[in-house]
Amino acid sequence: MGRATRLPRHVTERFVTRGFVGRRGAPGSSESGTASRVPPGQYLTTDFPVLSAGPTPRTSLDTWSFTIDGLVREPVRWDWQQFLALPARDFVVDISCVTKWTKLDMRWRGVSVDTLLEGVELEPNAAFVIAWSDGGYTTNLPIADVLNGQAFVAYEYDGKPLTPEHGGPARLVVPGRYFWKSAKWVRGMRVTATDEPGFWESLGYHNRGDQWLEERYSGD
């Protein structure tokens, strides 16, 4: 399995390969002012790698919908046209993947999760959202982590409709968390009282995934 990893600071017993540096961007330079924008252990990239846990879903816009249900007074559902009619805005954010790459100033357009949650009334014991996608992927977040501009559902990237390979028609984007929390092909959020570790959170990855605290693996 080809992948890039970095040892935690306390683990140093590893054979070092003479002359190997790897093809990575700088950790960020103080001249360009980017160093402070690159989380610990990350490297800058200008690519936008496409990696996936399964075949690319091809949901037609005629059948697409976004649903919020679970611990809400009344579930809400938007079809594609209704979703596009919601107040939308441009987001320019930095993204970090747990495999080390960080991409600065990614331009998205979509609907803030705040706007989506305005459409529902949360039950008193609502505490978490489980975002779910076509193809079966899930990821979990505390409600507090998706409010106040911290998360949005994007349908455009770089001025163009989001391609299926990058998660289109729409994907969740949570810039403050490693990119596995930004669920591609998102179709809804289920509100719960208890946390439910999602696809990768249940298999060794950190439940919260804050890249500034380097929360990569469970136990970090």
Partner 1 sequence: MEETGEMREQADTMSVDDTVLDGNAVAGALAAAFGSDVTACPGRCAHCGTVSVVGELRAYLHSPGAVLRCPACAGVVLRVVETTEATYVDARGAAYLRFDRR
Partner 2 sequence: MASPIAWQIATVSAIRDETASVRTFSLKVPAWRGHRAGQHVDLRLTAEDGYSVERSYSIASEPERTGAIDLTVERLPDGEASAFLHDVVVVGDRLEIRGPIGGYFVWDVSVGGPLLLVAGGSGVVPLMAMVRHRTRSGSTVLARLLLSSRHVEEIIYREELEGLAARADGLAVVHTLTRSQPAGWTGYTRRLDERMLAEVLEPIGIAARTFICGPTALVETAANGLVRLGLPADRIRTERFGPTGT
Binding site for partner 1 (CB under 8 A): 1-3, 5, 7-8, 11, 49-56, 97-99, 136, 179-180, 200, 202-205, 216-217, 219
* 201 φ, ψ (degrees, to nearest 5): -65, -25
68 touches 146 (CB < 8 A):
no
* Closer residue to partner 2 (CB): 21 or 203: 21
202 binds, among partner 2, partner 1, none (CB under 5 to 8 A by kind): partner 1
205 binds, among partner 1, partner 2, none (CB under 5 to 8 A by kind): partner 1
16 binds, among partner 2, partner 1, none (CB under 5 to 8 A by kind): partner 2
194 binds, among partner 2, partner 1, none (CB under 5 to 8 A by kind): none
| Stretch (H or E) spanning 79 | strand 76-79
**Least Cβ distance, residue 29 to partner 2 (angstroms):** 17
Tokens 């975002």 belong to residue? 131
| Residue numbers at the binding site for partner 2 (CB under 8 A) | 1-7, 11-12, 14-24, 100
Non-local CB neighbours of 86 within 8 Å, separated by 6+ positions: 78, 111, 115, 116
**Least Cβ distance, residue 49 to partner 2 (angstroms):** 11
Q: What is the DSSP letter of 50?
A: -
Q: How many CB atoms are closer than 10 A to CB 141?
A: 26
Q: 145 by DSSP, 3-state: which?
A: helix
**Least Cβ distance, residue 121 to partner 1 (angstroms):** 34
